[in-house]
Amino acid sequence: MINVKIKEASGRISSFEMSGHADFAEHGQDLVCAGASAVSFGAVNAIMELTGIEPGITQSESGYLKVDFPDGLDEKTDGQVQLLVRSMIVSLKTIEQDYEEYIKITFTA
């Protein structure tokens, strides 16, 4: 199962973490894993390209990704980051609705 943990406090998402594998299908055929990866990496790439910030990124080939968004951004830039990351969450929730036994999203403070 893919576990997505989103850290949110006071209405601001400060990080997200993805780990695990969906095991929906064989490696290379797993559309849940491919979808979740495309959505998360696309969002991170969009944040970097469109806002100019460099989030802290930790990843491994084992299916782990953690992205930390910097504190102290100006209001406009932080608003853009938040919009893009929330858009990612909407897409991940859509995947979760259809494949709930393969991906789980949780929020922590």
Query: pLDDT of 85-96, one tens digit each?
Result: 999 999 999 999
Residue 53 pLDDT: 96
48 noted as active-site residue? no
Question: Would you say how long the chain is, in residues?
Answer: 109
The single residue of 33, 43, 89, 92 carrying the catalytic annotation is: 33
Let me know the angle formed at the C-alpha of 1 by 67 and 21, rounded to the nearest 5 degrees: 65
- Look at strands 12-19 and 64-68 and give their pairing: antiparallel
30 noted as active-site residue? no
CA dist 89 → 7, 18, 40, 72 (Å)? 12, 12, 9, 22
Instruction: Choose which CATH entry (3.40.50.620, 3.30.70.20, 3.30.70.1490, 3.10.20.30) describes domain 2-108.
Output: 3.30.70.1490
Domain limits, the chain: 2-108
Query: pLDDT of 13-52, one tens digit each?
Result: 999 999 999 889 887 789 999 999 999 999 999 999 999 9
**Inter-residue contact 64 to 5 (CB < 8 Å):** no
How many CA atoms does the CB half-sphere of 86 hold within 13 Å?
A: 10
Cα separation, 105 vs 78, whole angstroms: 22
The single residue of 21, 23, 73, 82 carrying the catalytic annotation is: 21
pTM of the model: 0.92
